[in-house]
Structure 1
Amino acid sequence: MLYSLYEAGYYASAPMRMAARLTRDAWSSPLNPAHNSEFGRGVYAGAELFSTLTRRYGRPEWGIDHVNIDGHDVRVRVNETWSSPWGKLIHFARSTSDMRKAGRRELEPAILIVAPLSGHYATLLRGTVQAFLKDHEVYVTDWANARDVPVLEGRFDFHDFIDHIRIMLRQLGPRPHVLAVCQPGPPVLAAAALMAEDNEDSRPMTMTFMGSPIDARLSPTVTNRLAEEKPFTWFQNNMIDTVPAPYPGMGRRVYPGFVQLASFMTMNLERHQEAHLKYLHQLMDGDGDGAEQHLAFYDEYLAVLDLTEEFYLQTIDVVFQSYLLPKGELMHRGRLVRPDLIRDIGLLTVEGENDDISGIGQTQAAHALCSGLPDAFKEDYVQPHVGHYGVFNGRRFREQIYPKVRAFIAQGEAGFDKARAAA
């Protein structure tokens, strides 16, 4: 019912949205003699803000067609190398000839960047991808919007997510590297543990977890407390709705993206209000650069996708209420997941000092779970002065965090200096 009301509200506001766009165009046109007056700029800014706040935000484009490597412009082509109804494996293939010109003649380490399936599209990791493209063959998980998957395609749950990670890692060949950003931490660790136990050739050489709720009991945040305080039935009854027509997934039960977005916005409501007020003033002052930066951020931030009912509810249960992985009780397809059996996969954990989504300690918990790993294979890093988003994007990520991850991967390629000279 909520989903249908949301859709009805969007279409009901269409006339006002169209009127706002016409007003915006009329008062921004150089043919309007008053377009540059204080009154004209004010009307234009108000109309533009209304139009921006009420429009739909679709799946963003990656917009990565080149990367600068050692002063050389290297062309990048985005290829789909594997897919299922629930996701695609995207390869950012760098031009071989351009790589030779840049002096890179050897095959560089392949890394699978596992994007979170928690409301935003994988393009939220655009900055992450751009950083890794300088030194790696980059692959990214691009998850589907559940509302676009027909009911006939079946279900997609927490255990299907684990299976997808295993399948995707196999596409990269022997001993790739894997990086999980936020939500995928627990299922990626589970996939690595299962692959290690089976001694698969494609088990990761290193695994990096960034701001991941490996053990959500530690340093609980507002998000964790909500999951703990509300009974499981509350999430079933209040967070789930049915996809309406005309979407391909009509009839599918989902956790709607707009509900998740409302949660995101509410957590930092004052900050978002200030940002939009600043945007209004930038429009009125003719500050084009500032307005473009605002739009670039919110074009990404406001683009959300739906999660299947089963995936969302299982994540609430497994990760945030029952804590099955850290308690050693997670079962996958009838098998107990045992991170303690991991013997030769490097483990790097990265956390942000000011992370208000995954508190400090939640990601570090992976070290205790991987008790079979020698200390030579483990490393932990806490980045000062960054929140959750800054762990995988922004200036401090590029200048301080990424170099540490790159160095850790290089150590893995070198056998961690032969396990730190056999300890």
Structure 2
Amino acid sequence: MLYHWYEATHAMLSPYRAMADATKLALNSPVNPFSHMPMAKQMAAGAEMFERATRRYGKPGFELPTALVGGERVAVTEKAVWQRPFCDLVHFQRALPARRRPDPKVLIVAPMSGHYATLLRGTVEAFLPNHEVFITDWLDARRVPLADGRFDLDDYVDYIVSMLHFLGPDTHVMAVCQPAVPVFMAVARMEAEDDPFVPTTLTLMGGPIDTRSNPTAVNKLAEERGTEWFRRNVITTVPFPHPGMLRPVYPGFLQINGFMSMNLDRHVDAHREMFRNLVKGDGDNAQKHRSFYDEYLAVMDLTAEFYLQTIERVFVEHHLPRGTMMHRNERVDPKAIKRVALLTVEGEKDDITGGGQTLAAHGLATSIPEDMRHHHLQAAVGHYGVFNGSRFRADIAPRVMDFMRTHAYRKAQAAKPPAKAPAKDKPSTKPTVLKMIRGGRTADAAKGS
């Protein structure tokens, strides 16, 4: 009934939201003689804050129409090149000249944790100039009909393997936050089966490989409550008239409430500042606030089976670091990973994935040669800064790109057939110049005697 109450409340507030929107427009109208009065500005600001607080935020767009490639601005087109009921693989196709050498392929696996893949817009933008970028665009579970079946952690791993087969060899994979675990699992299973389509490099960024290391408030809550508490308290069914009606889900509106409650003071301060900026007419800062929260408050539902399995296996029972993780009745063995170079990235101030949780991947994948692994701890960034923002663009992204290119080159060099050893010269029967000179001198000396 939880979802039904949420929908009923949203519908009940619709007339008031429309009234607030009309009030804001009227009070901000340049033809309104009262629009410049302090009271009118405060009322308009309050109306906008109410409308935004009660709005349902739709899925944003990536809004990356162009990219700067080789000093030239080229058009970028989004195209879904691989599709399944719960995910589209989106390719950012760049209008490049045919003569240009192919750029490395990068599969960015976006988190399936309540937000849309557009949260990684800055990540995609950083890689577009020098890479063929693909990203997982996970679908909102409430929009997937019940007839399309279930989606759990095993299905997630299968999706990743299928995408890597679709993209072919020499692909680089970058998993951001939550997908670090299923992507790590997928690569381990592919290596165990000697799959020729394993990626060249695997980059894990702020992912919960072992949440026993430096547990955060999120990790502690999961362990304290246990899987059954989440099953009883946060799982509900999608109501009519959504296409996924009757599907059991973990609703996005609960996820965003959880996220915001972790840093409630910061969000309250941000909205107070937004109100002040609206009153004093600071449009630039007000627009920054709108842009951030339009993205942050746009959430999607997760299937109940995927959410509960993740809680149980990753956060409560720690299957991966304990060596008990299974995929389709097959044990996941990270030691099977031998051919894939591994890079892990963490943020010094990450309050979602604590320090050491991603680094733990190196302690599990011990068969990877030492010169094919690297860890980077980025100073002064939190969870979001690991994959977005100025420090990501200046420090993290260049390191990741360099890691990818370095190991792509090494792999290409190792694949070349060994050069043939030069054939040894047979002893020549012809006299050398030195012998001829010496021989001539000897003959002359004989004649003189």
TM-score by length of 2: 0.91
3-state SS in 2 of match to 1:326: helix
Q: Determine whether 1:344 maps to 2:339.
A: yes
Report the equivalent of 2:300.
305
Query: Matched residue of 2:151: which SS?
Result: coil
**Aligned match of 2:15:** 15
Aligned partners of 1:150 and 1:270: how far apart in 2? Answer: 38
Partner amino acid for 1:241?
Answer: T
| TM-score of the aligned structures, taking structure 1 as reference length | 0.96
Moved more, 407-416 or 250-259: 407-416
Deviation at 1:208?
0.2
Cα deviation per residue 1:271-291 (whole Å; 9 max; x = unaligned)?
A: 000001101111111111111
User: Does the aligned pair in 1 maintain the 2:226–2:312 contact within 8 Å?
Assistant: no
Provide the C-alpha distance between the structure 1 equivalents of 2:48 and 2:307, rounded to a whole number of angstroms: 35
- 2:206 is aligned, of 211, 234, 239, to 211
Q: Which secondary structure does the structure 2 equivalent of 1:360 belong to?
A: coil
Residue of structure 1 in register with 2:429 after alignment: none
After TM superposition, give the deviation of residue 416 of structure 1 in Å.
6.7
Superposed structure 1 runs of 4+ greater than 2 Å apart: 416-419
* Correspondence for 2:319: 324
Contact 2:172/2:404 (<8 A) preserved: yes
Q: Is the 8 A contact 1:128 1:392 kept in 2?
A: yes
**Which deviations, in whole Å up to 9, do the C-alpha atoms of 1:10-35 show, x marking residues without a partner?**
11011111110110011011111011
Counterpart Cα distance in 2 of 1:187 and 1:48: 41
For residues 104-183 of structure 1, the aligned pairs below 5 Å read: 105-183=100-178
Give the 3-state SS of the residue equivalent to 2:207 in structure 1.
coil
Query: Which 5+ residue runs of structure 1 have no aligned equivalent?
Result: none
**d(CA) in 1 for partners of 2:150 and 2:412?**
44
Partner residue in 2 for 1:359: 354
Q: Is the 8 A contact 1:219 1:361 kept in 2?
A: yes
Structure 2 residue aligned with 1:90: 90
**Is 1:236–2:231 an aligned residue pair?**
yes
Structure 2 regions of 5+ residues with no counterpart? 415-449
Cα distance between partner residues in 2 of 1:76 and 1:311: 33
Contact kept? 1:116, 1:182, Cα under 8 Å: yes
- Matching residue within 376, 397, 405 for 2:400: 405
Which whole-Å CA distance do the structure 1 matches of 2:350 and 2:21 have between them? 38
- In angstroms, what is the RMSD of aligned CA positions? 1.2
1:383-394 matched pairs, under 5 angstroms:
383-394=378-389
2:281 to 278, 286, 289: 286
Corresponding residue for 2:31?
Answer: 31
| Distance (Å, rounded) in 1 between the aligned partners of 2:374 and 2:86 | 33
Q: Deviations over 1:179-219 (max 9, x none)?
A: 00000011000100111122222211000000000011110
CA-to-aligned-CA distance 1:301-328 (integer Å, 9 cap, x gap) = 0000000010000000110011111111
Q: Does 1:57 align with 2:52?
A: no
CA distance in 1, matches of 2:169, 2:203: 17
How far is 1:417 from its partner?
9.7
Computing the radius of gyration from Cα coordinates, the structure with the larger value is 2
Structure 1: distance between partners of 2:400 and 2:253:
33
Q: Say which of 262, 266, 279 aligns to 1:267.
A: 262
Deviation at residue 231 of structure 1 after TM alignment? 2.3
| Letter of the 1:91 counterpart | H
Q: Distance in 1 between matches of 2:194 and 2:62?
A: 35
1:40 counterpart residue number: 40
Structure 2 counterpart SS, 1:280: helix
Whole-Å Cα distance in 2 between the matches of residues 416 and 197 of structure 1? Answer: 19
In the alignment of these two chains, the number of paired residues is 414
